[in-house]
Amino acid sequence: MTPGTAERPQMPIEDFEELASVAPEHVRLEFVDGRVRTKDPLSVEDFEELERRAPETVRLEYVNGKLEVKAMPDGNHRSIHVWLVRQFLLQRPDLDLVPESGVKAEAYRKGRARTDAALAPVDHFRGHGEWSETDGILLALEITSHDRDNNTLTVFSEPKDGRYHQSVSYPWGDTVQLPSPVDITLDTEKLKDYAD
């Protein structure tokens, strides 16, 4: 369940300066129109090192060979997350909804995405490092400002060849049945409380 693609947030200059000051020597960053970019191609290993060194106020991802900045969660984001944790815990106590999960994404696991949460069997992530394989993850959760602005929940399903082949959007207030293997029902009326 990932509520769609949102425009990437702009980064404050102070965060960029702090990130640039801790970047590995051979990783050259630039700041263009409020966004951070690399001057040279970035390997997965260089990204992982940069992400480890990033200040707490910066969340990074590596998508389609590019460095991306992910927005920091606000109060509504955190409230939606807690509401979802409660729903999953009540309906599927055999599963964990693990926050801030680093996932190896894309073909050949060359991308790195940080989901707002990942749903998996209890203790699935035990012994994993910072970045986990997608095998065994039943659902990736993203709480995006784009869909929050539209008061919608979008369920992506039927993954194949690195793409989702099914996408259904629901207005907040609808009852949403998440497909197998998740198999839970969300009464999304409560989400209206978090409309911006």
Q: Please report, for the chain, the start and end positions of each structural domain, with discontinuous segments joined by +.
A: 13-70, 75-194
The answer, yes or no, to whether residue 8 has pLDDT greater than 70, is: no
Give the pLDDT score at 3: 41
pTM value? Answer: 0.80
What's the maximum distance between 2 C-alpha atoms anywhere in the chain? 51
CATH number of the domain located at residue range(s) 75-194 in this protein: 3.90.1570.10
Nearest to 62 by CA among 36, 40, 42: 42
Mean pLDDT of 118-147: 90
From residue 175, alpha-carbon distances to 84, 87, 167, 188 in Å are 14, 13, 16, 6
Give the pLDDT score at 105: 85
